[in-house]
A and B are shown apart, each in its own frame.
Chain A
């Protein structure tokens, strides 16, 4: 998946934020200039911006609502977003809010996106509501791609049930996502798994550290 801008879209709760944070950290290994854009206007808790201090410590630029409005229940898209999508010096990850309502934001950034070297990646967790069959998933792809006014370039299998995920679950997800790929013609980039799980399937593996967790 070669690109300068990586944009994660998908249904609500499919794992876009975890993927965005982990992708930004992975990109940081090969570049000094990495930005993570949080334009999630859907989730009230558990967002990329919650890890702002940690990411900035790794020298990853986090673009989100201004500090004083970070906890506001408001859909804030700061003006720098367009800049970091366009800036050729930066490798940029974009964490988009869930469902078509979240993807609408991308539609409004269309004039920046058109000329950017970008990949739009659709994240799938088959253990989430309204996402368990090929039909449901391809319908979601269609809806989100229309709201975002963008073609989806890749699918990602992020199927998991949190800490209780088994390799069998990941395999089930992989099978369904591959069938969706066949139906839609959209290739699958990889399967993402928790760093503590050992799994080898048909697809490349992206190991992730989990960030969105509770204090207890």
Chain B
């Protein structure tokens, strides 16, 4: 049975169904409904909901909880995600699996409460210190957001990595019909062989991001890099929409990808063949595929609710093979379909 849900609610319920029973968070608009949903729902499923005193505390609670090898998550919005970066770096160094939801709002600074896609750099290039990566998934519908939660936890555990679901405030706040995913049987989830569960009757284990000996620390870093390489080779996800005969390929994710799908249809009515390339994993970015399809088109247009962040990855992929243009608005302003169509017409001329 389908339900009418907000993005934040769909993500929260899907996380619980994917086996998450430990949630730590601090309310911030436009994602507070996620925290509120967890506050109501966790006691019903015998889980733990804990509202911390700040995002700095949240991320460290998550760090501790993740050490037990359980499915843990938090959610926040841009300024809160900034506060979490130190802890994220520590967790990445400790090779801990956990899921972060960032429902982006404008910035820099306070940024009010309207939607934005300005945390692309922060999420994909590492907002914290050190040589680390996190897997970044960007759903563009509420159904996709609900479906992707199980995968987010699976990836986090498969690679012992952090996963961020990066959505903008619009995906967080809008309502759509959602078919919720099946329940995962948490009894069947295997306890990882690194989990800290009390050393009675076995050798003690250690979860840490640190070693006093730089050569040992280097070995740890090389291990992280090897993991990131495996992820980049195996876990790239993207969607292609009407690109077969396209003269212009628009690259967009999240809410902007939805707008572009509508715009592609209206552009085609005016004789401009437009397609959409939508990265689903922002890290690892689908460089190879975008490189391949960019060979046959006249233009690539990147559309973002930012002043140009993902475009840097698009340019790396295209590598000079064709023109790369940009259209974006930010600070909480969502470009309208008409504006995007105008941007397309301008380069089609």
Chain A positions near chain B (C-beta within 8 angstroms): 12-13, 43-46, 71, 73, 125, 127-130, 160-164, 214-216
Q: How many residues of B contact A (CB 8 A)?
A: 31
A residues near B173, Cβ cutoff 8 Å: 43-46
B residues near A71, Cβ cutoff 8 Å: 112-114
By the criterion CB–CB under 8 Å, are A162 and B176 in contact?
Answer: yes
By the criterion CB–CB under 8 Å, are A44 and B30 in contact?
Answer: yes
- Given A45-B30, A71-B112, A215-B259: 15 more A-B contacts, CB < 8 Å: A44-B30, A45-B114, A46-B173, A125-B4, A127-B3, A128-B3, A129-B3, A160-B4, A161-B2, A162-B177, A163-B177, A214-B170, A214-B174, A216-B259, A216-B263
By the criterion CB–CB under 8 Å, are B4 and A161 in contact?
Answer: yes
By the criterion CB–CB under 8 Å, are A129 and B334 in contact?
Answer: no
B262 touches A (CB below 8 Å): yes
Scoring B1, B29, B175, B261 by chain A CB atoms within 10 A of each residue's CB, the highest score goes to B175
Which residue on chain B has the smallest CB distance to residue A101?
B36
B1-59 interface with A by 8 A CB criterion: 1-6, 9, 13, 29-30, 33, 37, 40
By the criterion CB–CB under 8 Å, are A44 and B3 in contact?
Answer: no
Q: Whole-angstrom distance between the alpha carbons of A73 and B2 in the complex?
A: 31
Q: List 15 A-B contacts (CB under 8 A).
A: A13-B6, A44-B29, A44-B169, A45-B113, A46-B175, A73-B112, A125-B4, A127-B1, A129-B9, A129-B37, A160-B4, A163-B177, A214-B258, A215-B259, A216-B263
A151 to chain B, nearest CB (A): 25
7 tightest Cβ-Cβ pairs between the two chains A and B: A216-B262, A161-B177, A45-B173, A164-B177, A161-B4, A216-B259, A127-B4
A70 to chain B, nearest CB (A): 12
B197 touches A (CB below 8 Å): no
Q: Whole-angstrom distance between the alpha carbons of A73 and B30 in the complex?
A: 9
Q: Whole-angstrom distance between the alpha carbons of A160 and B175 in the complex?
A: 11
B319 touches A (CB below 8 Å): no
B95 to chain A, nearest CB (A): 35
B336 touches A (CB below 8 Å): yes
B126 touches A (CB below 8 Å): no
By the criterion CB–CB under 8 Å, are A73 and B259 in contact?
Answer: no
By the criterion CB–CB under 8 Å, are B334 and A215 in contact?
Answer: yes
B144-189 interface with A by 8 A CB criterion: 169-170, 173-177
Which residue on chain B has the smallest CB distance to residue A128?
B4
B337 touches A (CB below 8 Å): yes
A155 to chain B, nearest CB (A): 18
Q: Whole-angstrom distance between the alpha carbons of A125 and B3 in the complex?
A: 10
B residues near A12, Cβ cutoff 8 Å: 33
Q: Whole-angstrom distance between the alpha carbons of A45 and B115 in the complex?
A: 10
B residues near A130, Cβ cutoff 8 Å: 40
B32 to chain A, nearest CB (A): 8
